[in-house]
Amino acid sequence: MKLKLTAISILMALLSFSCRQEEENPQEQQVQPQQQVQPQQQVHAGVNMHTGVVQEVLQATSYTYLNVKEGDRDFWIAVTKRETKVGETISFAASLEMKNFESKDLQRKFESLYFVDRISSGEQSQPAGPGSMEVPHQMKPALEKKEVSIEPAEGGITIGELLANTDSYAGKTVRIKGQVTKVNRAIMGKNWVHLQDGTDASGKFDLTITTQEQVNVGDVVTFEGTIVLNKDFGAGYVYEVLMEEAKRQTQ
């Protein structure tokens, strides 16, 4: 059965990877997300997990590309760079599929490539049953609130203020300062940055930003961008609040 999407933490796919300082050039990636899978195709919890055996390993600057065999199927996945051996059994969740993904680093184009947030070794997780790749809304990882306390940028607002008054900021350009807690690079030609500043609203404390800027986990940065609400990228990737095309500001 053809692999489908699950919902990323972008993102997506996508989305979700731990940060690396260097990455393949996002402007050079030519990717297309797989067609949206409707929510009614969800099945019971846990079936989006997959277990397979690594057939081939390709190491790039910041990603490890793995050809995985699961049952009678084999396919390529990509995960943040790690040591993995041929013959190793790994488990992972179905994730964002990219069609005709070109790795400039490897000088290779993958007809189909799945970005995976993380993998685990061994067979602790059971293989998914038929139809398991149909689940689109399981990809976004659970977010952990960091112990940070960052003063807002001059002329800016806090994440808590934004999340408490989203309608007031919809379509407006705002400035927010915070600490980078997660980065997903080169997904749909963008870097996806998670920002926290220690504030929250009704239990929500994390802001996702799309940008061309290069930042690393732990960086304290100021971004300025346009706030959009209920942004739907398809395949279950819906963001209630998103700062788009953000630019890093000099502090």
What CA–CA distance (Å, rounded) separates 224 from 175? 4
- pLDDT tens-digit series, residues 183-228: 888 777 788 899 999 999 999 999 999 999 999 999 999 999 999 9
Q: How confident is the model at residue 119 (pLDDT cuts 50, 70, 90)?
A: confident
Contacts of 168 (CB under 8 A, 6+ apart): none
- pLDDT tens-digit series, residues 61-113: 888 999 999 888 899 999 888 899 999 999 887 677 788 888 888 999 999 88
Q: How confident is the model at residue 142 (pLDDT cuts 50, 70, 90)?
A: low
Q: Does domain 26-134 match CATH 1.10.1760? A: no
> Exposure of 166 by Cβ count < 10 A (0-12 exposed, 13-18 middle, 19+ buried)?
middle
What CA–CA distance (Å, rounded) separates 177 from 156? 8
Query: Domain 159-249 belongs to what architecture?
Result: Beta Barrel (2.40)
Q: Are strands 32-33 and 207-211 parallel, antiparallel or unpaired?
A: unpaired
Six-digit token string for 192: 């996806």
What CA–CA distance (Å, rounded) separates 198 from 219? 14
> What global pTM score does this model have?
0.51
- Per the DSSP assignment, residues forming a β-bridge with 248 are 223
What is the residue extent of each domain of the chain? 26-134, 159-249
26-134 and 159-249 agree in CATH topology: yes
SS3 state of residue 160? helix
